[in-house]
Structure 1
Amino acid sequence: MLAFYILFLLFSLYHEVAATCPRKCNCDLSRRVQCYRIGQMPKEIASTTRQLYISHSKIKQLQISDVNQMSALEEFILTSSGTEAVERNTFKALAALRILELWKNKLRCIPTLLPANLEVLKLGDNLISVLNESDFEGLKRLRVLDIQNNLILALSSSTLSSLSRLQSLILDGNNMESVSGPLSLHNLKYLSMANNKLQKFPGRFFTSLHILLFLNLNGNLLTTAPPDLPQSLLSLTLERNQLTMLKSEDMKKLANLSELCVSENQLSSIDEVQFISSLTRLEVAGNKLQTFPLHLPTALQKIDCSNNLIEKIKAHDFHDLQDLKHLFLDKNVVKTFEDGALQRCKLLSNLALEQNLLSSIPLSLPHTLARLDLKGNNIQRIQEQELKNLKQLQVLNLRNNKITALDHGLLEHLPRLKHLYLEGNLWNCTCDLFRTRRVLTAKGTDVKGGQCFAPAENKGESWMSSKRFLRLCIHDSLYAGEDSSKTRKKANADNPSTHMDDYYDYETD
């Protein structure tokens, strides 16, 4: 009986809510209202509404009368609605308001006299050009401030000085040219000023940020890393700047740094990172390194040195990197890879060597490898000693080399192979490849490519799927009488990932 009574109350309440819900809006029992493609602020919104979401509408101006009856409103989100102005004091009386998001509109200034209980303010993708100290007066509880993709050219530290509890500040994409400091935000943990036009930071700008954990300065015009960075930093990203060097004295202070990203700069050396003993991730792609960095921190788990000018990998380069799991050396000019250079990397699972000048697969690779990318090299032949230790390999990319044959016996060394890429080679389609085809099909390996280059009558056909090639070799004495099509269908049924195209999309076990 009680359950029936509760259901009756809920049913009645639902109909009451539905009856008072504005047109083109959805209302639910949690006092949330969602409106889409409306032409003006709804007048029928209940005073008990706690959350109001409006998007893709045409609301040129917000007025006090639009929201003043919503005394219980905690969250107001108005996006992509062409809003150009907010009447003075519109939100002042909304004492319960904690979250205000007005992004993707046409606002030219920050709304005035915002309620004191506000915790999140997001104004990204507007036309705001100036920040005033008065804009943030009284916001003692504000934790998140997002003003990305506006027109702010300069930042004065005093402008934000009243935001004593601010934890996250996002100022990306403003074409900002200058800042003044120090920035006195003692509770700030996340600061992002990416995609601006900053050439330098004044001394002591960061010194008051004692608990800052993440700093993103990608896409600026910096020639050196900022001075006086806080020791608390865990992540520092300086990609797409104009860095020519990293200063030892700056790196030595970053005792807790775990992630350093300096890709797409002008660095010819990164020897200074040896002082960051806690570093686990280093990204230095797209620079001017001619040799692999020496004396790297031993805690590193990921190194990205792709798109540089590295010619040779030496055995001692990785001697102390026993925690390394991911190594990217693609798009270099590596011609020599010394035998056993990676054999001490007992945790390595992902090795990218694509688009280099290798003529063979490096020897004594770690048995832990799950992915090996060798696309776009000069490899002509695959030999047993190159693969015999790779029992865990799941993805092998051999695209765009000069390989003519693949002995089916080699596949015995790759029991877990799931994905094999063969396009762009010079396959000589003899019945020896038919044997390889049968082994791959039986294993359920997803094979991409394998177009014949020779003999001429088979050119362009795939030795993995051509019915003509199948007929020519079906009477081979080792496999006579077997139904290859049934085997292939079963393998495909057991392997649901066979239609995915790019090996980077695959997850290994």
Structure 2
Amino acid sequence: MRFHHVVIAFMAYSFKAEGSLICESDFCVCHHNNKSDREVFGEIVECSYDPILLKRNLSLPETAYTLNLSRNSLVDVEFSLALKSDTLTELFLNSNKIKNISPNAFRLPNLKRLDLSDNQLEVIREGTFDRIQKLEYLNLANNRFNTFEKITFHHLSYLVEIVLDNNDLGPSLENNNLFDRSGYGLTHKIQSLSISGINLDTVHENFFVDAFDLRRLTISNNSLISTFVFPFTLEYLDLSDNLITEISEEDFTELLALKELKLNNLLIKDVPGFAFASLHSLAHLELERNQFLVNFSATAFGQEVLDDPVDFMLETLSLKGSRLTSLDKRLEVPFGQLIRLDLQGNFWNCDCNLKWIQKLQIHPDLYDHIRCYTPKPLYNSRVFELDEKYFTCTKVHRSHRVMVTISIISFCLLLSSLAVWVYMFLPRNHTRCDFANVYSGASYTVLPVHVSTVRDPL
């Protein structure tokens, strides 16, 4: 009889465990979201450090909004009650060891954000996204994809942002277009694309021809050696950490809506005149860690802004970590309009040509590493703490210039005198070969023309 009761109690406990809420788990914390910046009010479920959590078949609250399953060392994702909800909007499965996702695992018809980054995925099987068609954000960064041959994104018609960073997809994109229906099929609704670190070295001419509304493009940390045709709808562009050696005005002519541009750690040596003149909406510009950059043209933003910055929209500019030694004083007018200017970590030559930058309104937090590199007596001095009297240029004394001039004239006269002497005293009937023999320094002498006929006495 006792055994019978024990069996019934165990079955009741098992049923209760399988039917219990995930919030009752020792590895989960649930709290109600009542923040005004959220679209929907509901339960936020935080679960970590439980590798068998999905196998427990714990149900989500009826008002679940966010489920965080990151850092659980999950390898396989299969159907579980925790992945079935009509209210769940955000699902975080990042930072696991996921290698496989069952095609019927996700039953989340209202899911908008899915994070699968930092896993070990090589393929996504067909049908995986069939029941999450309202997805707007998908993060697949830091996995092991080298192609998407077994998946297309065509049916994700609500998708507006996708992150593919640090997957070896570059070679596959030479023959497949992310936006082409015969390729990977991202819809024309995509507004944000991140393909940083995908081993991409070429962007063919029609790569973005079907990206009608692309506003943010991150294509940093690749092997691009030149710019390409950018979508004219861009508002944000990051080209940092590529092998680009040159930029010009023509590169950005069509980007009238661009607000933020990042050109960090390139191989450029020069920012030429009018390079950014056509970017009338540009508010934030980064040119950091360009270790070959030695020249920043005074007309980089155009000629008009040097006199009247009324149309100069730039708010922040960073030139830190490059090899600039000086800046043209004409930039004082536009640079004086900036909210934030970072000039730290350059090789500044603290002479009279740099004195003007002390007038700029630079935040004290950005003072410390604006230091002199030359002249030697001022090495490592803080530019904004240096007294004005030290910003001097070496002047050449007038007497010194006179002496140099006299020396040059004397040298020219000496050369002229030597030429006259050669002309006057060189025998005309000697050939050039004779002249060469006479002055060759050889040990032989020239024999006389006549030979004595007097015989020695017997």
Report if aligned partners of 1:263, 1:287 keep a CA contact under 8 Å in 2. Answer: no
Please, which of 186, 192, 197 is the counterpart of residue 195 of structure 1? 197
Query: Residue 265 of structure 2 aligns to which amino acid in structure 1?
Result: E
Report if aligned partners of 2:293, 2:323 keep a CA contact under 8 Å in 1. Answer: no
Matched, 1:171 2:164: yes
Report if aligned partners of 2:114, 2:139 keep a CA contact under 8 Å in 1. Answer: yes
Deviates more, 1:20-29 or 1:165-174: 20-29
Provide the C-alpha distance between the structure 1 equivalents of 2:244 and 2:117, rounded to a whole number of angstroms: 28
Which residue of structure 2 aligns with residue 377 of structure 1?
373
Provide the C-alpha distance between the structure 2 equivalents of 1:225 and 1:406, rounded to a whole number of angstroms: 41
The structure-2 alpha-carbon separation of the partners of 1:61 and 1:335, relative to structure 1 and needing over 3 Å to count, comes to: closer
Report if aligned partners of 2:294, 2:322 keep a CA contact under 8 Å in 1. Answer: no
Which residue of structure 1 aligns with residue 9 of structure 2?
none
Which residue of structure 2 aligns with residue 386 of structure 1?
none
Provide the C-alpha distance between the structure 2 equivalents of 1:253 and 1:265, rounded to a whole number of angstroms: 22
Which residue of structure 2 aligns with residue 265 of structure 1?
266
DSSP-derived class of the 2:57 partner:
helix
- Aligned CA-pair RMSD: 4.0
Q: Alpha-carbon deviation of 1:167?
A: 1.7
Report if aligned partners of 2:122, 2:143 keep a CA contact under 8 Å in 1. Answer: yes
Deviations 1:135-182 (A, max 9, x none): 222432111111111111124696111111112211112233333225
Query: Residue 174 of structure 1 aligns to which amino acid in structure 2?
Result: N
Q: Alpha-carbon deviation of 1:82?
A: 0.9
Please, which of 300, 306, 311 is the counterpart of residue 319 of structure 1? 306
Provide the C-alpha distance between the structure 1 equivalents of 2:362 and 2:199, rounded to a whole number of angstroms: 41
Provide the C-alpha distance between the structure 1 equivalents of 2:33 and 2:325, rounded to a whole number of angstroms: 64
Report if aligned partners of 2:60, 2:82 keep a CA contact under 8 Å in 1. Answer: no
Provide the C-alpha distance between the structure 1 equivalents of 2:276 and 2:85, rounded to a whole number of angstroms: 50
Query: Residue 62 of structure 1 aligns to which amino acid in structure 2?
Result: L
TM-score by length of 2: 0.62
Q: Aligned ranges for residues 12-31 of structure 1 at < 5 Å?
A: 21-23=24-26, 25-26=28-29
Report if aligned partners of 2:283, 2:315 keep a CA contact under 8 Å in 1. Answer: no
In structure 1, stretches of 5+ residues that fail to align are: 1-16, 32-48, 299-315, 382-397, 411-509
Which residue of structure 2 aligns with residue 278 of structure 1?
281
Provide the C-alpha distance between the structure 2 equivalents of 1:216 and 1:317, rounded to a whole number of angstroms: 31
Deviates more, 1:337-346 or 1:287-296: 337-346
Q: How many pairs align?
A: 338
Which residue of structure 2 aligns with residue 160 of structure 1?
153
Same amino acid, percent of matched pairs: 21
Report if aligned partners of 1:260, 1:282 keep a CA contact under 8 Å in 2. Answer: yes
DSSP-derived class of the 2:349 partner:
coil
Q: Aligned ranges for residues 331-480 of structure 1 at < 5 Å?
A: 342-343=332-333, 345-348=335-338, 350=341, 352=343, 354-360=345-351, 362-365=354-357, 367-371=359-363, 372=367, 374-378=370-374, 400-401=380-381
Q: Alpha-carbon deviation of 1:364?
A: 4.0
The structure-2 alpha-carbon separation of the partners of 1:134 and 1:253, relative to structure 1 and needing over 3 Å to count, comes to: farther
- Which one has more relative contact order, counting CA pairs under 8 Å at least 6 apart? 2
Please, which of 204, 207, 211 is the counterpart of residue 205 of structure 1? 207
In structure 2, stretches of 5+ residues that fail to align are: 1-19, 35-41, 180-185, 390-458
Query: Residue 279 of structure 1 aligns to which amino acid in structure 2?
Result: L
The structure-2 alpha-carbon separation of the partners of 1:400 and 1:169, relative to structure 1 and needing over 3 Å to count, comes to: same
Report if aligned partners of 2:296, 2:327 keep a CA contact under 8 Å in 1. Answer: no
Q: Which has the larger radius of gyration?
A: 2
Which residue of structure 2 aligns with residue 254 of structure 1?
255
The structure-2 alpha-carbon separation of the partners of 1:67 and 1:207, relative to structure 1 and needing over 3 Å to count, comes to: farther
DSSP-derived class of the 1:211 partner:
coil
The structure-2 alpha-carbon separation of the partners of 1:95 and 1:121, relative to structure 1 and needing over 3 Å to count, comes to: same
Provide the C-alpha distance between the structure 1 equivalents of 2:237 and 2:157, rounded to a whole number of angstroms: 23
Q: Alpha-carbon deviation of 1:317?
A: 11
Which residue of structure 2 aligns with residue 293 of structure 1?
297
Query: Residue 108 of structure 1 aligns to which amino acid in structure 2?
Result: K
Query: Residue 381 of structure 2 aligns to which amino acid in structure 1?
Result: N
